[in-house]
Amino acid sequence: MSGLLDQALDPLAAALKVTGYRQQLLSANIANANTPNYRAVDIPFAQVMQAVQAGDKGSLPLTTDSNRQFTETGNNASMAAFVQYQRGSQVGLDNNSVDMNREQADFLQNSVRYQADLTFLTGKIKTLTSAITGTTA
């Protein structure tokens, strides 16, 4: 139950949220590249994206006392539940599994994705503005 604006913007907002979270995990891996016993973490993007979009609403549903109110729950899928250790990296003598090349490549890729999301979102906003004002932007 959502309006045109939500339909247009929600998927991209969800993508931004997931990419932003992944960016944090990857930066934590880079920060801990020299920490003994640290294991690199990551999230499976596709699965988390599906969960967030399906509205695997984690917490705080809106309470309603009239049937004309929105029953929407907060789109707070707990992405933290999807955090898992990265597989396939070699574990060093200090029991640290951060592969710096892989992390930097992933980090770069993820930030390009984030920028792409922002670009698409800007495009959507411009389209909608143009539709609302009736001018060609």
Partner 1 sequence: MSLFSVLNVASSALTAQSYRLNVVASNMANANSATSSDGQPYRAREVIFAAQPFANAGAPAGVNGVRVAGVISKPGPFKMVYQPGNPLADKEGYVKMPNVNPVDEMVNMISASRAYQANVNVMNTTKSLLQKTLSLGA
Give min distance, CB of 114 to partner 1, in A: 5
Q: Is 73 helix (H, G, I), strand (E, B) or coil?
A: strand
Q: Which residues sit at the interface with partner 1, rule CB under 8 A?
A: 16-17, 20-21, 23-25, 27-28, 30-38, 41, 80, 83, 100, 104, 107-108, 111, 114-115, 118, 121-122, 125-126
Give min distance, CB of 11 to partner 1, in A: 15
Give min distance, CB of 23 to partner 1, in A: 6
- Give every CB contact of residue 10 below 8 A, 6+ residues apart in sequence: 2, 53, 75
What are the backbone angles phi and psi of residue 85, rounded to the nearest 5°? -75, 145
DSSP 135: S
CB 119 within 8 A of CB 17: no
Q: Name the residue nearer to partner 1 (CB basis): 35 or 71.
A: 35
Q: Name the residue nearer to partner 1 (CB basis): 31 or 69.
A: 31
What is the dihedral sign for C-alpha 104, 110, 116, 121?
negative
Q: Indicate the residue type of 135.
A: T
**102/39 Cα distance (integer angstroms):** 14
Q: Name the residue nearer to partner 1 (CB basis): 69 or 119.
A: 119
Give min distance, CB of 42 to partner 1, in A: 9
Q: Name the residue nearer to partner 1 (CB basis): 47 or 71.
A: 47
